[in-house]
Amino acid sequence: MPARLKVLTAAELERADAASDTRALVKHYLAVLETRAPGRSVEVRVPPFAAVQVIPGVRHTRGTPPAVVETDAETWLALAVGRTTWSEALDSGTVVASGERTDLTPYLPLTTH
């Protein structure tokens, strides 16, 4: 039996392109953060796209890291380009940060320097 091909609508194609663009931007700005804050003591997570370990200090090697920052893609991109501040994101609950050295204020926004 031949495989059936699904024909995507214009809206579905647009959503797929937007998701691809978002993924690329999230990964780009996480890579910029890695360059500006080298280290492995804090894990920054932007599910489902990527996670990186940054900030100098005690190196994390396995299991749940002692210091974690987690946010969604929209908030991460807003932080990266300066549309929101670290304290605004924390206060609104769109960023969850636990552990030592999780304040990313010195590194944001990532579009400057």
CB 53 within 8 A of CB 42: yes
pLDDT of residue 85 exceeding 80:
yes
- pLDDT for position 20: 79
CB atoms within 10 A of CB 88: 14
pLDDT tens sequence across 17-53 = 667 788 999 999 999 999 999 998 999 999 999 999 9
Q: Report the SS3 class of residue 22.
A: helix
Strand partners, 74: none
Task: Please tell me the pTM assigned to this model.
Answer: 0.82
| Side-chain-facing half-sphere of 99: CA atoms under 13 Å | 18
What does the pLDDT average to over 64-79? Answer: 92
| CATH no. of 10-107 | 3.30.1050.40
CA distance 49 to 30: 10
High-pLDDT (> 90) share of the chain, %: 65
Q: Please report, for the chain, the start and end positions of each structural domain, with discontinuous segments joined by +.
A: 10-107
